[in-house]
A and B are shown apart, each in its own frame.
Chain A
Amino acid sequence: MEHALYAQSGGLRRRRRVNRAVELTSTVAAVLAVAVLLLVVGSVLLKGLGALSIHFLTTPTALFGEEGGGISNAIIGTAIVVALAAAMAIPVGLLVAIYTTEFAPPRIGNPVRFVLDVLNGVPTIVTGIFVYGLLVAGRQQSGYAAAVALAIIMLPIVARTAQEVLALVPATLKEAAHALGIAHWRTTMRVTLPTAAGGLLTGALVAVARVAGETAPLILLCSIFAPGNLTDPREGLATIPIFIFQASESPSPTAHTEAWAAALVLIAFVLVLNLVARAFYARSRQRMEG
Chain B
Amino acid sequence: MEAGALSTPVLRARRNRKDRIGDPLLRGLSGLAAAVAVAAILGISYEVTKIASPAISRFGLGFLTVNDWNPVTERFGAAPFLYGTVVTAGIALLLAAPLSIAISVYLTELAPQRLRRPVATLVDMLAAIPTVILGLWGILVLGPFMRDTIEPALKSAFGFLPIFSGDPSAFGYLTAALILTIMITPIITSVTREVFETVPGELKEGFYALGATRWEMVRRVVLPYSRAGIVGGAMLGLGRAIGEAIAVAQVIGGAYGIHASLFHTGGTLAAQIAAQFQGAPNQLQRSSLAYLGLILLVFAVIVNVIARVIVRRGGLEEAEFTPTEAEAL
Chain A: residues with CB nearer than 8 A to chain B? 3-4, 6-8, 15-16, 18-19, 22-23, 25-30, 32-34, 36-37, 39-41, 43-44, 47, 91-96, 98-100, 102-104, 108, 112, 114-130, 132-134, 152, 155-157, 159-161, 164, 167-168, 173, 176-177, 180-186, 188-191, 194-195, 202-203, 206-207, 209-210, 212-216, 219-220, 223, 241, 244-245, 248-249, 256, 259-260, 263, 266-267, 270-271, 274-275, 277-278, 281
Contact = CB atoms under 8 A, between A and B. Distances in A.
Nearest to B22: A185
B323 A161 contact: yes
Contacts of B186: 33
B243 interface: yes
Contact of B128 (A39, A112, A119, A274): A274
Contacts of B107: 30
Nearest to B20: A183
Contacts of A213: 129-133
Contacts of A37: 122-123, 125-126, 129
B94 interface: no
Interface stretch (B58-66, B76-84, B149-157, B303-311): B303-311
Interface stretch (B40-48, B67-75, B159-167, B257-265): B40-48
Contacts of B99: 29, 32-33
Contacts of B214: 19, 22-23
What interface size band does chain B fall in? 35 or more
B132 A248 contact: yes
Contacts of A185: 19, 22-23, 25-26
Nearest to A216: B245
B189 A33 contact: yes
B102 A161 contact: no
Interface of A is mostly: helix
B216 A249 contact: no
Contacts of A99: 27, 30-31, 33-34
| Residue among A4, A245, A263 with most chain B CB within 10 A | A245
Contacts of B30: 95-96, 98-99, 102-103
A100 B34 contact: yes
Q: Which 9 pairs show the lowest CB-CB distances between chains A and B?
A: A213-B130, A123-B243, A121-B304, A95-B33, A7-B211, A29-B102, A99-B30, A19-B213, A185-B22
Contacts of B22: 183-186
Contacts of A22: 105, 214-215, 218
Nearest to B51: A133
Given A37-B125, A164-B319, A194-B3, 8 more contacts: A6-B216, A25-B102, A37-B126, A103-B30, A126-B300, A129-B277, A176-B6, A186-B22
